[in-house]
A = this chain, B = another copy of it.
Amino acid sequence: MRIGDLSAATGASARSLRYYEDQGLLQSDRGTGGQRHYPAAAVDRVALIRSLLAAGLSTATIRDVLPCVADESIRTPWLADRLTGELRRIESQMADLRRTHDILAGLVETYR
C-alpha cells in the first residue's frame, strides 16, 4: 500500500507517517519512483505507535522501545530502567487523571 492508503487505514496524516519514518519508528520500501510502499503489517505498527504517543511517550522513547515489542530477543539492562521510568510516569499521570476525573464527576453530579 502507498502512503495515502496507510493514512486512510490508520487515521494518521501522511505528514505524520513521514515524520514517524524520519524518527525511525516506521520503515518503508521505496519503489522505482521513490514513493513509499508499506506492507499490510504497517497498519498495526502505526496503531501501536499512535497508542504509545497518545500515552505521552516521545518518539525518541518509542524508537528505543519498539524493537523490543517486535523482537523479544532484544533485551538490554538499561532498557528495563527506561521502561520502569516510563511506567512510573504513566502511573503518576493516571493518578492525576483520576483525581481530576473525580473532581469533575463530582461537579457533574450536583447537576442532577
Contact = CB atoms under 8 A, between A and B. Distances in A.
Q: What is the total number of copies of this protein in its complex?
A: 2
Interface residues of A, number: 34
Label chain A's interface by main secondary structure.
helix
Interface stretch (A1-9, A23-31, A90-98): A90-98
Nearest to A110: B72
A100 B52 contact: yes
11 contacts: A51-B99, A51-B100, A52-B103, A65-B104, A72-B110, A83-B104, A83-B107, A83-B108, A87-B101, A87-B105, A90-B97
Interface of A: 48, 51-52, 54-57, 65, 68-69, 72, 75, 80, 83-84, 86-87, 90-91, 93-94, 96-101, 103-105, 107-108, 110-111
